[in-house]
Amino acid sequence: MHPTRTLPDESLAAELLPPLLVALGVLAAFAFGLLMLNQYRADIWPYLLTGALVGSIWASGSLLRRGRLQAAGSLTAHALALLPIFSILAFGLAGNPLIYLSALGVAAAGLLISPAAPLAMARTALLTLLAFLVVPPLIGRPIASLSDALAAGLTSSLLLCGVAVLSWAGAHNVRGTIGWALETSAKSERREALLRRAQADLERTVRERDQLNDRLYRQSLELAAAKAQAEAAFRSKSSFMATMSHELRTPLSIIIGFSTAMIEHPEMYEGEPLPPSYINDLAEIKRSGEHLLRLINDILDLARVEAGRLELNKTVLPITPLLEEMVRTAQGLLKERPVILRREFQGVLPTVIADEMRVRQVLLNLVSNACKFTSVGEVAVGARVEENEVVLWVRDTGIGIAEADQPRIFDQFEQVESHDTRQHTGTGLGLSICRWLVELHGGRMWLVSELGKGSIFYFTLPRVQGAGALGERTPASTLALAE
Amino acid sequence: MAKILLVDDVYTARSMTERVLKHVGRYEVIAVGSGEEAIAAATECTPDVIVLDISMAGMDGLSTLRALRAQGITTPVVAYTARTERALGEFVGQGFDAYVQKNGNLSNLLTTIREIVGK
């Protein structure tokens, strides 16, 4: 069987070895004192010396066992080992060889207790002593008195015990000396201390966790409060926006309304039409008012889109009627200009899922741009079907956009410089909103253009698979709004 | 000659619409400035069409409409507001017979009224 260094064995050795060795040391000191008494019966020194030895062994043992004051314990142990040697010198050659033996015994006990000495060395020392003791002829003198015999017997049994203990320790694969045992005991104490510390750590961690939990809970409460506050602020902001837009629109509708009435309905003014010079300025007032109204609408739209609040009323939307409507719109916008209007779509186009009003807004924006910037040539409205989407475009042979300007054409308030700003008024928000709206539908928007030759604005809308299926139309999209 | 009850709390807007309806549309117009007056006038004058502003201080267009219907007045009501088309959508299904955006385009209102009166 191979003895293993399991924890119970280790701790058993650690628990047993120190008291055993201390007991042996005490007994050795007793034997030494007995021999001394036998030699110097009348003297006080043997009593004192024996007392000091027993006391110091006991003290060193208990000190070392506690694992504290190790340095002091070790010092005592070395003093113990040295004391008999000095006592031999002090008492001289007493004539009794046993005194050497017992002195050596004490030295061995001291050696055993010393944390530094190796176990094998202590065992060898004890065995040597035992050999000397059990071979009387080597000593060269017969044992005379009873006390001599007692001392010899005590010493030899002591040595036997020591050897037995050390062999037992050896059998348990215990290395080193009592120092090791003490260290093990110290180790277990350290382990215990570590455990206590770990427990304290754990408790602290648990406490900290509890505190953190508390804090988290408080924070979640604060967060909920902040969220409610933000939502309230958001609601008040949107109601502010709604009120604001209403407040802005009301006077504008009056400005536009009266200028329209003055230009178109002289019957409201006793049937007397205004002189043309007035009409021109009124038309300017009307146009500026309409521009301002468009601007307000665009800004509100953009604010809604950017706040993620613009909701689409998606329905299954047929494209062809919408494109036909755009062609008619373009016709009206181009009026007498020498511009050819083309339909670049054929047959019945598939349906898409889209917000009709928003798609119309995008197309209207592109078509009115195309008509605005084209004085001669062509304007086309087109569409083609691809696998998952429908690509729509508005093409013109107008002024075009320089390549350098193209990347920022979709930015807010970006307008490519125009020579005739009065002719080409716009909010600078239209294309930006268009792209937002297309992206909101899950489509893309881009352009192909060359300065002086014209532009094509493309955008895509996701297709409905299995065209012709009539989706339910929300009431909002069927709103009878006179536009 | 069709009779129109016009309800708008903004004086200038009201008088403008009133003049347009009178001179351009050739209608008889009773113009009032609040929902309460509108309910009184609706029972008294039995108009053919009610043109009702939605955003009014005090009793707004929607509560005026409800009060009218609660009193058994079935006169067609046109919602006439400066709100956006989108905001108008919120009033769909609330019982208005038509919606017209108040954006300065006078013919929209005239066309809508003509359609209702002609029916």
Contacts of A276 (CB under 8 A, 6+ apart): none
Predicted local confidence at residue A480, as pLDDT:
33
Predicted local confidence at residue A467, as pLDDT:
43
Is residue A19 within 8 A of residue A58, CB to CB? The reply is no
The answer to whether residue A33 neighbours chain B at the CB level (below 8 Å) is no
Lowest mean pLDDT among A19-23, A167-171, A220-224, A249-253: A167-171
How far apart CA B89 and CA B85 sit, in angstroms, is 6
Closest A-chain CA to B91 = A476
Helix H or strand E segment including B30: strand B28-32
The answer to whether residue A286 neighbours chain B at the CB level (below 8 Å) is yes
Question: Choosing among A243, A253, A287, A440, which should be mutated to test the B contact, i.e. which has the most B CBs within 10 A?
Answer: A253
Mean of pLDDT values over A269-289: 88
In the numeric block, the tokens 């117009």 are attached to B29
A143 burial via Cβ count (<10 Å: 0-12, 13-18, 19+): middle
Q: What is the ipTM of this complex?
A: 0.86
Token pair belonging to A12: 């058993």
Cβ-defined contact of B10 to A242 (cutoff 8 Å): no
The answer to whether residue A153 neighbours chain B at the CB level (below 8 Å) is no
For B49-90, what is each residue's pLDDT tens digit? 999 998 888 898 989 999 999 999 999 999 998 876 666 666
How far apart CA A113 and CA A76 sit, in angstroms, is 9
For A111-158, what is each residue's pLDDT tens digit? 555 544 445 555 565 566 555 555 543 344 555 566 666 666 666 666
pLDDT, greater one: A368 or A168? A368
Output the CA torsion sign for A275, A278, A284, A289: negative
How far apart CA A113 and CA A74 sit, in angstroms, is 8
* Residues in B lying within 8 Å of A, measured between beta carbons: 10, 12-13, 16-17, 19-20, 23-24, 55, 81-89, 92-93, 98-106, 108-109, 111-112
Bridging pattern class, strands A389-396 and A454-462: antiparallel
Helix H or strand E segment including A228: helix A178-264
- pLDDT value at A463 more than 60: yes
Predicted local confidence at residue A108, as pLDDT:
56
Q: Under DSSP, is residue A440 helix (H, G, I), strand (E, B) or coil?
A: helix
Q: To the nearest whole percent, how much of chain B has pLDDT over 90?
A: 56
Average pLDDT, chain A: 72
For A434-462, what is each residue's pLDDT tens digit? 898 899 899 999 999 998 889 999 999 98
Predicted local confidence at residue A438, as pLDDT:
92
- Smallest CA–CA distance, residue A338 to chain B, in Å, is 29
Q: Under DSSP, is residue A442 helix (H, G, I), strand (E, B) or coil?
A: coil
Closest alpha carbon to A9 in A130, A155, A188: A188
Is residue A428 within 8 A of residue A302, CB to CB? The reply is no
| CA dihedral angle for residue A67, residue A16, residue A34, residue A106, rounded to 10 degrees | -60
Cα–Cα separations (whole angstroms), residue A273 to A258, A261, A265, A270, A381: 14, 11, 8, 9, 39
Contacts of A144 (CB under 8 A, 6+ apart): none
Cβ-defined contact of B84 to A245 (cutoff 8 Å): yes
Predicted local confidence at residue A300, as pLDDT:
77
